[in-house]
Each structure stands twice: as structure tokens, then as C-alpha cells.
Amino acid sequence: MTALFYTLGVLIFVVAILASIGLHEFGHLIPAKKFGGKVTQWFVGFGPTVFSRRIGETEYGVKAIPLGGYVKIVGMLPPGKGEETVVDENGETRVRQSNTGMFTQLISDARAAEWEHVKPEDSDRLFYKFKSWQKVVVMAGGPMVNIAIAFFLFWGVFATVGQVVDAKVEPVVAEVVPCIVPADQDGRACTAEELRDNPSPAAAAGLEPGDEFISFNGTPVTGWEQVQQAIRDNGDGTATIVVERDGEQLELQATTQVEPRPIDAASPEELTPVGFLGVMPVATPIYETGGPVYTIQQMGGMAVDTFQALAQLPAKVWDVAQAIVGLEPRDPNGPVSVVGGGRLAGEVASHETFPMQDKIVSLVMLIAGFNFFIGMFNFLPLLPLDGGHIAGAMWEALRRGFARLRGRPDPGYVDVARLLPVAYVVGAAMLVMGVVLIVGDLVVPLHLV
């Protein structure tokens, strides 16, 4: 049953992400057609075509490598200076090239490939001739669809279940740590040797889940923080602990042990030698619910966090590369690929102790989070991302606006083709980072626990 739920979780995540990709591309296609543009292709995936069907002038289909999607809008690149369009003997429009130099030839070749799709009757339907605001709407349509998907998924969770904003921690034992594990290896299972030779003080004293602390060294207990501080201050000393178990009070003797532990939640990497007992308290989550305004507020905070994460992405991917070759452990808060997202979805769905509601909420939040990241990532003002085209269209509008105010001639269309060398570098970097993350998610995957 666990394998079945794991597979189901992965399939739900994969189908949801593929659907999001398809809807993203419709976010470009629909306004482009609305403004009179010509869209010849809509595909989910890359590589060989698995299935396609032509409806009108547009071919819709699925390709073999499900790592993205695209729409082909005719006329994205205008003719450049020194180049002109001609109609050949077959009635097809081509760009006559007259360029030398590696980069100029690269740009010219891209224009030539672009104009192979242009027919004489398409002259008034070319994307580069759209009004600047229309270009912004078309290119922003894709990432805005992802953000809209994230909004409705987040809203659904926040309005019903809510999100955890705090926890009520009680002086009751939720879990007894069976052995002493170093802080930097927290979460791993105890070995048979550790269970035999190095049990935790709590396990050695006989503490059990459900025990409620009544007093510690003769001091009545008023809350978990008091117990935690008393344990830390006890060092290597013996402590008399009174707990209530099944309605009866028991007195237990425990010898705490000094261990390096994180004591500041804001700096979990900083370890301080303190007394250690080996118990986890009962923590009851406190939920906060809200409607659309609350959701927008939460997503505003997420946007700030996302842009901060994007600024650190190259360094984080480098850390993953080092983890792959065993130079350092993988950061549990680091980035993951779609493969890693699928694995986490499978673990959520197959987790034996998660209630069904928690599984559903976790999957929905995972899918929403991926959509939000995809949307925000595509708004980066770099080609080949949608944000690069948006930036070009906005610059075009500003340039033309300033020319009109100063009574100067129309400067014409912004030639985004001149930034193609940058686009190829950015695209190559994205490809490398994507491959590193995928390999990392296969070799050193992140897990729920």
C-alpha cells in the first residue's frame, strides 16, 4: 500500500505540473491570438513529438521530454539593420543576410530561422509589430497563470485548514530519543551499537511518550520552556524528575549529559554545550485562516523570499554539486528540481503517520509553491525568460514615449535579437543548474525526515 500511495503522490504532482505548464503556455497563446497574432505551435515538453493535432493554424501537442513547454508566436524578432526581408520563389518570406562576425552571424541566423515561418499575408500579424502594452500582456500572461494557480491553491488551503503560524508546546513527552546522535546528524536512526552503548539519558531513566512533567529537581513545572532551561542548566548532573503517567505520579532519576546543541532558533548552525536529556515535547500547531486579501499578503512575503532565493540560486546549486560528489552534506533547505518535488510528493502521500488531510494539504501546498516559483522565476528580466521580453517591450514604450515628448522621430521597435548572445548564456546556465539539481535529487535526494 505504501508503494501504491508513493506512486500516486508522484503521479498527482507530475500531472499537476504538466497541467500548469500547459496553462502557462495558454497564457501566452490566448492573448497573442486575441491581438491578431499568428501562433503556429503549442507544446508541452521538448524533443520528439509524441502526439499532436492541428486545429486551425495552430498545432497542439505533447513532446517526449516533459521539462517545460513553448508556444511559437510568429514574428518575435524584427529584421535588423543591414538586413531586409524578401519573398522567395515559393512565396515564403526570408531575411537577406549581410553580416560578418560570430555574434552578428549568430543573431542573423536566428532571424533567418524566425522568418522562415512568415508568409506574405502575415505582415500585419507579426509579434514585433504589436503595441508595447500588448507585448507585455502576451509575455506576462504565462507566468501570471502560474501565479494565479498558486493563488487559488493557497487560498483554498488558507480559507479552510489555514496555515501553521505557531505551536503550543506542552511539558508532555511526545517522543523519547533512543540514543545520543550528534546535532549535525540529527534525524538519523540509531545504530544497534549506539542503542546498546550510548542510550539517551531519557531512555535510560525510563521516560515514555505521554509522560507529563510535574517537577524537575523539586521545582514545580509551569511550562515546557522552564523544563528545557532546567535540563540545559543541569549539565552532567543527576536530576530528580516527577512525571504523571496514566493518572499516577512517578519519580525518576536521570543523569543529563552535556552535548553541543542549537539553542538559538535564529542560528541553528551555532552549537552550544548544554545539558541534554533526549525528549521531544508535545507541540500542538496553531492555525490561522484567511480569505483572498490574507492570501495576497502571504504571497507578498513569499515573493520577497523567492527573489532572495533566486539571488542565492547559483551558490545553492553549487552546494548541491558538492553534495553530489560527497564534499558536503546536502542542505535540507536548498533547491530541488521537479524530480525532487515528485519524490517529496511521493513521500508525503505514503507517509504512514500523516492523516489524510495533512497529506492533501501538503501536496496542494507543494504544487502551489512550485507554481509560484515558476511564475516569479519567469518574471526575471533576462532572455530567454518571459521577463526579458517584458523588459524589452517596456523599454520600447519608454523610448517611444520620450521621443514623442521631445518631438523626435519614432525610434522604432526594440531589437531583442541583439540580446540573443546573453540569452544563450543564460539558457546554458539554466540548463546546467537544472541538470545538477536533477542529478542531486537522484543521487543525494532530500527527504521529509
Neighbours of 188 (CB within 10 A): 9
- Residue carrying the nine cell digits 517529496: 344
Catalytic residue among 25, 83, 114, 347: 25
Judge if the upstream peptide bond of residue 260 is cis by omega within 30 degrees of 0. Answer: no
**CA–CA separation, 68 vs 374, rounded Å?**
11
CA distances from 447 to 187, 201, 342, 444 (A): 11, 28, 11, 10
Q: Which amino acid is at 282?
A: V
Q: Which amino acid is at 101?
A: G
Residues 6+ apart with CB under 8 A from 425: none
Q: Respond yes or no: is residue 25 known to be catalytic.
A: yes
**Whose CA is closest to 260, among 277, 278, 275, 272?**
272
- Residue carrying the nine cell digits 505548464: 21
**Whose CA is closest to 338, among 380, 302, 371, 379?**
371
Neighbours of 207 (CB within 10 A): 24
Residue 54 corresponds to which cell in the numbers above? Answer: 492541428
> Phi, psi at residue 362, to the nearest 5°?
-65, -45
Neighbours of 176 (CB within 10 A): 19
Residue 438 corresponds to which cell in the numbers above? Answer: 536533477
Residues 6+ apart with CB under 8 A from 309: 316, 335
**CA–CA separation, 77 vs 92, rounded Å?**
16
3-state secondary structure string, 180-237? Answer: CCCHHHCCCCCCHHHHHHCECHHHHHCCCCCCEEEEECCEECCCHHHHHHHHHHCCCC
Which of the 8 DSSP states describes residue 383?
T
Residues 6+ apart with CB under 8 A from 415: 77, 78, 80
**CA–CA separation, 117 vs 369, rounded Å?**
37
As beta bridge partners, residue 220 has: 215
CA distances from 166 to 162, 230, 305, 306 (A): 12, 23, 19, 22
406: three-class secondary structure by DSSP: coil
Catalytic site positions: 25
